[in-house]
Amino acid sequence: MNITIIHVGQLKESYFAEAVAEYEKRLIGFANVKSVHIKESRVDDNSSSEADFNAALEDEGTRIIQALPSVTKAVSIALCIEGKLFSTDELKDVFNNARHDGKDLCFVIGGSRGLSEKVKSACSIRMSMSPMTFPHRLARVMLLEQIYRCSSIIRGGKYHK
């Protein structure tokens, strides 16, 4: 299975980068994980204009949509706070259903401003990791951990226990 993670912004902290690398290494053999970096749109630090923030969000959204795989090839999942809360078993079912349908998975993680509505609408699933707010860089680590946990369950491994 191919899993694409489209994310806005780079990992600046070495501990996040090390965690991402560890989970990507663990996933070898289960899935081909591809990371697609979308550069975060800059907003002048002195600007508090909502229009500037919205323009930046829309710019990121345009580039995210260009990176999304075709709906015939992959199930796209937008990570957003208003999305559905999934248990690990429910997420595992998303994996199994995609595999059964011959599709890959694509997860989309926005930057510090989140995701534009057009990106969320372009995805077939909206998923929330928690009603709490987390740094978007940590969300990538948490997502990879859950992808690894789902793969462990599917393989019949003991990691998830």
- Write down the pLDDT at residue 161: 55
Q: How confident is the model at residue 3 (pLDDT cuts 50, 70, 90)?
A: very high
Q: How confident is the model at residue 160 (pLDDT cuts 50, 70, 90)?
A: low
Domain extents in the chain? 2-155
Residue 80 has pLDDT above 60, yes or no: yes
Residue 106: which of 17, 11, 13, 35 has the closest Cα? 35
Contacts of residue 145, defined as CB under 8 A and 6 or more positions apart, other chains included, come to 23
Please give the Cα distance from 127 to 93 (Å, whole number).
14
pTM here is 0.93
Q: Which residue has the higher pLDDT, 71 or 77?
A: 77
Residue 57 has pLDDT above 90, yes or no: yes
DSSP code at position 49: -
Please give the Cα distance from 92 to 119 (Å, whole number).
23
* Encoded tokens for 35: 């990371």
| Domain 2-155 homologous superfamily, CATH | SPOUT methyltransferase, trefoil knot domain (3.40.1280.10)
Dump the DSSP string for 93-129. Answer: HHHHHHHHTT-EEEEEE-BTTB--HHHHHHSSEEEES
Residue 73 has pLDDT above 70, yes or no: yes
